[in-house]
Amino acid sequence: MSVKIRLTRTGRNKICTYRLVVQDSKSKRDGRFVEVLGTYNPQTNPKQFQLKTGRIAYWLKQGAQPSETVSNLLKQDRFAEKAEALGKGLDLSTVAVVRKPERKRKPKTRKAKAE
């Protein structure tokens, strides 16, 4: 069974929130999952997410593959530095690793239809 770390959608119509979950790669987006690893809320400004660093490190060691969006969230949270500190036996509350700020994006421009 190949396992992926990906987002599953929760929330109601047009107000989405997501959970980071460990799921079989063949299951549906909102289907059965093995474990919840965190939450992600893209509606707030700045976007909020909480991750269980120890459990994510465990699943990555077991061979789980993160999706593209999850890997971007892990980079923004500086997961590699936190996982290294956990590997050395340090407590995350004492490690001074600060989350990277959110990227500034240009607004999308709409092209006028050629008539």
pLDDT tens for 2-50 read 888 999 888 889 888 998 999 988 887 777 788 899 999 988 887 888 8
User: Whole-number mean pLDDT of the chain?
Assistant: 81
Model confidence, pTM = 0.70
Of the candidates 40, 27, 36, which has an alpha carbon nearest to the alpha carbon of residue 71? 40
Residues near 71 by beta carbon (within 8 Å), at least 6 away in sequence: none
**30: DSSP letter:** T
Higher local confidence (pLDDT), 112 or 11: 11
Give pLDDT, residue 22: 92
CATH 1.20.1250.20 fits 3-87, yes or no: no
Across the range 73-84, mean pLDDT stands at: 78
Under 8 Å between Cβ of 41 and 47: yes
